[in-house]
Structure 1
Amino acid sequence: VYDAGNYFVRIRPANAEQTFTIELNCATPPENNEACDAIEIDCNTGNISGTNLGATENEECGGANGGAGVWYVFNSDIDGTLRLNTCQDNSPLTDFDTDISVFTGTCEDLTCYDYIDGDFACGFAADITFDVFNGTTYYVLISGFGATNAGVFDMEITCEEVVLDCPGLGNIGDVCDDGDPATVNDVITEDCECLGTPPPPGQVCGISIEVDGLPYFDTGNNTAGFGDDYDFNDIPPLAPDGILVGTFFSTSYLNGDDVIYAYTPTEDQQIDVRLDNIGTWAGLYIFTGCPFESTVGAHGEFADTFREIEALPVTAGVTYYIAVGTFAAPQSTPYDLSIVINSDDCPDLDGDIGDPCDDGDPLTTDDVITEDCECVGTPVIPGQICDLPIEVSSLPYLTTDNT
Structure 2
Amino acid sequence: MGSWRRVAFALILVLCFSSKSLLSMAAIKAAYWPSSTDSYQPPLSIDTTYFTHLYYAFIEMDPLTFKLRVSPNESVLLSEFTAAIKLRDPRVKTLVSIGGGGSNSTAFALMASSKPSRQIFIESTIEVARTFGFHGLDLDWEFPANPDEMASLAKLFIEWRGAIETEAYSSRRPRLLLTAAVYFSPHFFLSDTPRSYPSKAIKYHLDWVNAMCFDYRGAWDTSETGAHAALYDPKSNVSTSYGIDAWLGSGLPQSMLVMGLPLYGHTWKLKDPNVHGIGAPAVGVGPGGDTGVLTYTQVVQFSCTNNATVVYDRTTVSTYLYAGHSWVGYDDARSTIGKIRFAITRHIGGYFFWAVSYDQDWDISRQGA
Q: Give the TM-score normalised by structure 2.
A: 0.25
Q: Which has the higher contact order (CA 8 A, sep 6+)?
A: 2
Report the structure, 1 or 2, having the larger strand content: 1
Report the structure, 1 or 2, having the larger helix content: 2
CA radius of gyration, larger in: 1
Q: Give the TM-score normalised by structure 1.
A: 0.24
